[in-house]
């Protein structure tokens, strides 16, 4: 008999045995071949995973397409006439990024000199 967490399999035929009670004194009988064995299932199964445990092409593509806007590049961005919702300045810097599907509009990121940042989907 072998066990994976709380699931117990028959050593004779590999059939799934009746539900485990988590007690080594309990005997489990295979309904397929009739072999009896002691219950060896674990009563508690704890598993943890991280996104890196299951790599996928989609996750890798998403991770590599993330763009950052560095502080020294903000000063080189063009300015536009847009009102800052925080300080009320009428001239702010901006850039555009394609964050959504290609058939949807781009996202405009605004940067004010007061440090406030916001975006608008076109």
Joined together, the tokens standing for residue 31 give 């309904």
Q: Which residues contact 12 (CB under 8 A, 6 or more apart)?
A: 30, 33, 35
Strands (E), 5-114: 7-9, 27-29, 36-38, 79-81, 91-97, 107-111
Q: Is 32 annotated as a binding residue?
A: no
114 annotated as a binding-site residue: yes
Is 10 annotated to bind a ligand? Reply is yes
DSSP-derived secondary structure letter, 60? H
Is 112 annotated to bind a ligand? Reply is yes
Binding annotation for Zn(2+): 10, 13, 30, 33, 84, 87, 112, 114
Instruction: List residues forming the annotated binding site.
Output: 10, 13, 30, 33, 84, 87, 112, 114
């Amino acid at each position: 008999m072998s066990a994976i967490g709380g699931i117990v399999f028959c050593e004779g035929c590999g059939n799934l045995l009746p539900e485990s009670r988590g007690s080594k004194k309990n005997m489990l009988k295979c309904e397929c071949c009739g072999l009896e064995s002691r219950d060896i299932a674990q009563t508690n199964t704890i598993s943890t995973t991280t996104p890196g445990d299951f790599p996928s092409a989609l996750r890798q593509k998403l991770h590599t397409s993330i763009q950052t806007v560095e502080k020294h590049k903000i000063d080189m961005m063009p300015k536009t006439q847009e009102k800052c919702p925080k300080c009320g300045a009428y001239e702010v810097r901006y850039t555009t990024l394609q964050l959504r599907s290609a058939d949807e509009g781009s996202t405009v990121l605004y940067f004010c000199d007061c440090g406030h940042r916001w975006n608008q989907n076109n």
